Amino acid sequence: MTKILRMANKTKLFNDLVQDISKVAKAFAAAQMQAEAICIFTGDRELLECPDCGLLEDVSSDGHLMTYKKSDGTIEDTGLRFQEIDCMHFRCPTCKCIVELNDEESNRE
């Protein structure tokens, strides 16, 4: 095989690989959006805890995001959810305190 043919073959293999990776990335993004739409926590950020009132986020055994207060002594979902202001800041639904994600643990943009 000539050098030019080998290079063309490698280029085709590389392009095929890029196309495959692109398809997987698109499928993953679609699955993540579907999971978020039904309130399944996808682990793309750390769980929140309000420093003022102690409301905590947690993930139930079936993968759904939930909140409870440590001080209540039970782990029953309050039904309340932190409101996303931007990718780093959330508003506590109980006391309206702004909670900031820890930079080091967050993998979001």
Query: Based on CB atoms, which residue is closest to Zn ion, 35 or 53?
Result: 53
Residue 92 within binding range of Zn ion, rule CB under 5 A: yes
Task: Phi first, then psi: give them for residue 12, nearest 5 degrees.
Answer: -65, -45
Contact in structure between 57 and 11 (CB atoms under 8 Å):
no
Q: How many residues bind Zn ion (CB under 5 A)?
A: 8
Nearest to Zn ion of 40, 56 (CB atom): 56
Site for Zn ion in 50-69 (CB under 5 A): 50, 52-53, 55
Nearer to Zn ion, 61 or 102 (CB): 102
Identify which of 57, 58, 62, 63 has the alpha carbon closest to the alpha carbon of residue 41: 63
Q: Which of 65, 10, 1 is nearest to 38 (CA)?
A: 65
Pick the stretch among 11-19, 20-28, 45-53, 74-82 that binds Zn ion (CB under 5 A).
45-53
What's the rounded Cα separation, in Å, for the pair 65 and 62? 9
The residue from 32, 94, 101, 106 that contacts Zn ion (CB under 5 A) is 94
